[in-house]
Amino acid sequence: MAIPTSTIIPPKHVIESNLDTDVFIVGGGPAGLAAAIAAREKGFQVMLADGSAPPIEKSCGEGMMPETLSALRKLGLDIECSEGQLFHGISFKQKNANVSADFPQGTGIGLRRMLLHERLVRRAEECEVRLLWQCPVLGIDGSVVQLARGAVRSKWIIGADGHGSRVRRWSGLEKSWRNQQRHARRRHYRVKPWSNYAEVYWASHAQLYLTPIGCDEVCIVVLSEETDPANFASSLAEFPDLQNKLAGAELASRERGAVTAMRSLRRVQRGNVALLGDASGGVDAITGEGLRLAFAQAFALADAMTAGDLRWYEQAHRKLMRRPMLMGELMLWLGRNPGIRSRVIRAMQNRPELFARMLAMHVGKGTPGELLSTSAQLGWKILAA
């Protein structure tokens, strides 16, 4: 019984157990779709299932940095400038100081997550991935994936099913080295962007980051380790200039909440099962690295399956996580230490080239030696502040 390339499975549809595949992916978000596309590019037969129907929404900052766009191009997907809003770099802002820097190469783009998901779905369809929407996965047993109606046998099983991954639990990969969670709230405002930068605002108990995502729209996310401070009223009140810019602006979507985590798993593969994206751990949303990491993991996973050994993927995964984890820990530390953070931002305001170097390292354009040199110079400036 043939299954079309993209299918919404009706409740009474039965998937016959003889429909085997090389790779079965649980989860149809950007991470799962990237893994499917990368695997098809290696010649694997791929099936992907998700209990939802596209496009799939997620609360996030919706900004993609140059490295992320480069990974999308490698997946065969070009984002046109007209689809979102370009931004040239990052700004840090607090009450008494602010500093900005351009990306060392290229520009980023702010883009609605649902539009990105639609584009990835179309690309997966072009690659002839078998997409099973509204088709919940109930469990895995060896090489068998149990669906609501029937089962599929697969050589490789990939969990790309998010922070609360069931594949992670089913495969015994829950143990982690660290697991720090924060609460997030997101809004879209109908207002013309006033800056060519993605802006990070540092409030007393939260961070707020703003991304231009269209010629008349911005996305704002508030992040906090506590539930109550992760709200817009108290955070915006600390930034009257920003509050004035948003005064009278229409909300372009309903407010959405989510959890973002700094999580490192002890293992991301076992036997024929591997985890990808948020299911495999992650970095705090303030880093803007979630999508880039997922796409890079997709390429590494496709290489490991081609080699026939998922341990290769685990080694690559650890390496890919190092830099974002370091930057994420730094951002969280600054958030918890407002006095030091204030001195750091003032020091970088006085020496903006230091912030430019930090941004370059954040996007993978710096060396460990440059990091040590920049940190030393920044330390002297803080001591002198």
Structural tokens at position 204: 């007393």
Residue 64: its pLDDT value, please? 95
Residue 16: its pLDDT value, please? 45
For 373, half-sphere exposure in the C-beta direction (CA atoms, 13 angstrom radius) is 9
Per-residue DSSP letters for 27-83? Answer: --SHHHHHHHHHHHHTT--EEEEESS-SSPP--S--EE-HHHHHHHHHTT-PPPGGG
- Nearest-angstrom CA–CA distance, 345 and 132: 48
Over the chain (385 residues), what is each successive 10-residue block's mean pLDDT? 44 48 97 98 97 86 92 95 94 89 94 95 97 96 91 96 95 88 91 95 87 95 77 81 91 88 93 96 88 96 97 96 88 86 88 87 69 53 49
pTM of the predicted model as reported, rounded to 2 decimal places: 0.90
Residue 1: its pLDDT value, please? 35
Residue 2: its pLDDT value, please? 40
Q: Are 249 and 191 in contact (CB under 8 A)?
A: yes
Amino acid at 309: D
- Nearest-angstrom CA–CA distance, 373 and 375: 5
Residue 267: its pLDDT value, please? 97
- Structural domains of the chain in order of their starting residue, each with its CATH number: 6-57+113-175+266-328 (3.50.50.60), 80-110+180-260 (3.30.9.100), 337-384 (no CATH)
Q: Are 320 and 96 in contact (CB under 8 A)?
A: no
Q: Are 385 and 343 in contact (CB under 8 A)?
A: yes
